[in-house]
Structure 1
C-alpha cells in the first residue's frame, strides 16, 4: 500500500503542478471528492468516539484488515483514474496548456450592471414572495403543530424558485446597495428556516455564489475557504430543526437552537458522515457480500438499454446490502479486478476529454454545453459513491449522448449557412 500511496501522491502532485483548479472541472471534482472521502473516513474511523458513531445499518464497526482492504480499493481507483488523465494528455498536447490557465467563468469587467433596475426587480420579487408565503402559511410560518400545514400548495414552487432568483440578485447587488441586498437575503433565509425545508441552504449557496462572482481571484479564494465549511455547518443545522423540535415554525426552531445548541454539531457531523463517509463502509460491505459477481451481471449493469430489455430486474434485488442500501458501484467493480483496471483508466481518459471540452467552451464564452456536461459527470461521482453501478454508469452514457448531440448540432449549424450561401450564389 505504501508504494501505491507514493505513486498516487506523485501523480496528484504532477497533475496540480501543471494545472489550476477550476470550478467546472469534472477531473477536479472526482479527485477532490474522493480524496475528501478518504481523509474524512480515516479521521472518523480512528478518532471519532466509538460510542458516538452513527453506524448506519451496523456498517461502521469493521476490523483494520477490512478497512485497509477497502482503503486500498479507493487508492487504486484514484491511481488508475490519474493514469487515464495523463494518457489523454499525452494524446492531446493542448490539454495542460489549457489547464494551466486561470479561467474565469464570468468576466465581470465586461458586464455593465443597471443597479437601479436590479434594485426594482429585487424589491418587486421580495413583495411577491412575501404575499405568496402569507397566502400559503400566514401566521403558521411562525408557529404550527404539523410540519406541512397544507397538501401540495401551488404557490410553494413559485416562491421557492423566486427566492433563489432573489438571493442571486442580492449577491449581485451587495456591493452597490448593501442594505437592500441584505434585507432581501434576510427575508429569504427567514422564510426558508421558518418553513423548515432545505431550501434555506440553497438560498445561502445562491447568495454566496453570485457574491463571489464579483470578487477578484485572491478574495474569491479566501471567501470560499470560509464559505464552504459554513455551508456544511448550516446545512446540518437546517436539517436538524424539524427533527429536533416537537412543533414547527420559526419560533419553535429558534427555541430549539437556543435550548439545544449541540444539534448544530451533531447534525453537521451527521451530514459530513452521510456525504463523505457512509459510502466507504457501504463499499466495504459490498465487497464482502458480493459473492456472485459474474460476467453476466457485469454486462447487465453496464448495458445502456432500459432495465425491462435486459436481465436487470432479475438480478437487481440480489445486488443490495439490505432493502434500503444498494451495493455501491466502487464495491461492485472491486469484484472485477482486471476489468476495473480498464474501467477506471478509460474513465480518467474520458473525464479529461470532457474537462478539456468544458474549458475550451468556457474560454469561447459558450456555457450551455459546458455546464450540462459538468453537472452530469458530477452526478456520476456522487452516485458511484453510494449507489449501484447501473445507476451510476448511466450518467456516463448521458454525457456521451450530450457529446454526440453537440457535434451533430454543430455540423448541422455549419452546413446550413453553406447551403444558404450556395443558393444565393446560384440566384445571382
Structure 2
C-alpha cells in the first residue's frame, strides 16, 4: 500500500495543490482556492456522501470486476467488497482519508466480530473503542498509518480517541453539520426533531414548516452567498459556481433548499442513514432505521474475507491510471472530483480512463449541477468511444439517498 506523506498540510501536499489551484494567488479566485485548500487539508469526510446502493446497481458491479474509486470516507469501497470484485484501487489526495480508509479495512479484518465493527464505526460514546483499536487493529497497520492514529491532532488529543465519542461529528463535514444545527437553533429550529416523524407526510410537513423558512432568513441568505460558507461541505470554489448555475437567480440558497427537500422528504427516514447524519448527527439505532450498507450483518463475511483485494494510494486518479496496463479496469468511480477540474485535467483523466478501460467498462460520477461535466469539454476522439446512458443516469439520480448532488452520470465503453 502506498504510504501517507509525512506532512499532511496543504503547503506540502503538492498533489492537492496541483488539483485545486487554477488562479493567481493574489486574485479573488486564487485566494478562495487557497483558503479551501487549507480547510481541505485535514480530515474532511468521516463518512462518504454518495449512495453505495445506487453505485453498485448503476455499475452492475459483480464478481471479477476490477474497480478504481476515490476513497473519501471509505464507506463505499467497503460496500463494493460485498459484491466480491477481483480488486479495488482506492485513490485520494487527502492523507487523512488514506489513514481512515486503511483503518476501516483493518477493522474489518482484525476486530473479533461484526458487533465489534458496528461498535467502532456506528456507535457513539463507546468509551472502549480506542482501546479496542489499539489491541486488535493497530498492530496490523503499516507504520505510517499506525503513527497517524497514535499521533495527536491540533487540539493535543490522540487521534484514535475520536472513536470513543461520536466520530461523525469530527472532520470538516462533521463540524459543518454541527454549525448548521447551531444556526438553526438560533432561529428556533431543532433539526433533530425531524427524526420523530413516522410517515413521509410528517417528514414533508416538518420540512415545509420548520426547515424551508430558514432559507428566507436574512442572515442565512447572506451567509450562503459566500463561497467560503460551503467549504465545510467540501465544496471548492469551482463547484460552488456550478451549484449557483442551477438556480434561476444565480444564488445558492434555492439550490440548497431543494437538495435538503429531497433529503428530508423523498425517502423514509428508516431507510436513509444520510438523513440521520444530517439531521441527528448520528446513525439510527436498530429500532430506528438501517445502518450504512457496509455495516449490514449479511455483508460482513464477504467484506472481511475480501479486504486484501484493496490497495490504497495517495495519488490522483490520473496518476494511478497512468501506471496501469491498457484494458485493465472494468469500473471507474469518480465521485464529484471532475467538478474541480479544468479542461486540460479532464482530457488527461479521460485519456487514461479510455486507455485502461476494458470492453464494456462503466464510469460513474456525480456533479453539483444537473448536466454532465464532460459534455463538450473532452475531445471528440475520446467522447466517441463512450456512450452516455442518460435515461438510466436520471433514474439512479432520483434514487440517490444522499440527495446533495444535482446529477448522477453513467458512461459505458462503446468502442
| Higher helix proportion (structure 1 or 2) | 1
TM-score norm. by structure 2 comes to 0.25
| Higher strand proportion (structure 1 or 2) | 2
Larger radius of gyration: 1
TM-score norm. by structure 1 comes to 0.25
